[in-house]
Amino acid sequence: MKKIGTAETPTMSDELRRLYKSLQEEDKKEDKKKTFRIACDWEVYGTMEIEAESLEEAIEIAIEDAPLPTDSEYLDGSFKVNHDMTNFFYEEDHNKKSSK
């Protein structure tokens, strides 16, 4: 995909940073590689061709009824890790292991 535009990358809060540090220390105790689920998202840019009687109607159709564009381009710099969801996944996975 072609890269266009830019986006700011959010920073972790101090609370999340402390939580990640404690989780990393716990993981180091086991001293073996594991697989982690990292929630992430990014933005893409695409265009649609919509048949309508007005621009307003075309926009409404695009929002409500049209499939997502298949021809899209990555918005440069938009990739980010969703720290809240990543933490949720980690705790969910950790709880599954603890209950076994």
Q: With respect to residue 73, please indicate whether it lies within any of the assigned structural domains.
A: yes
Could you say which residues of the chain have pLDDT below 70? 1-12, 27, 29-31, 97, 100
Tell me the C-alpha distance between 5 and 17, whole Å.
Answer: 29
Whole-number pLDDT of residue 52:
97
Where do the DSSP E strands lie in 1-100? 40-41, 44-46, 72-74, 80-81
Q: Which of 35, 36, 44, 38 is nearest to 71 (CA)?
A: 44
Q: With respect to residue 36, please indicate whether it lies within any of the assigned structural domains.
A: yes
Q: With respect to residue 3, please indicate whether it lies within any of the assigned structural domains.
A: no
Q: Would the pTM of this model clear 0.75, i.e. be above it?
A: no
Range of the domain at 74: 14-98
Q: With respect to residue 4, please indicate whether it lies within any of the assigned structural domains.
A: no
Q: With respect to residue 24, please indicate whether it lies within any of the assigned structural domains.
A: yes
Give the total number of structural domains in the chain.
1
| pLDDT per residue as tens digits for the range 47-76 | 999 999 999 999 999 999 999 998 899 999
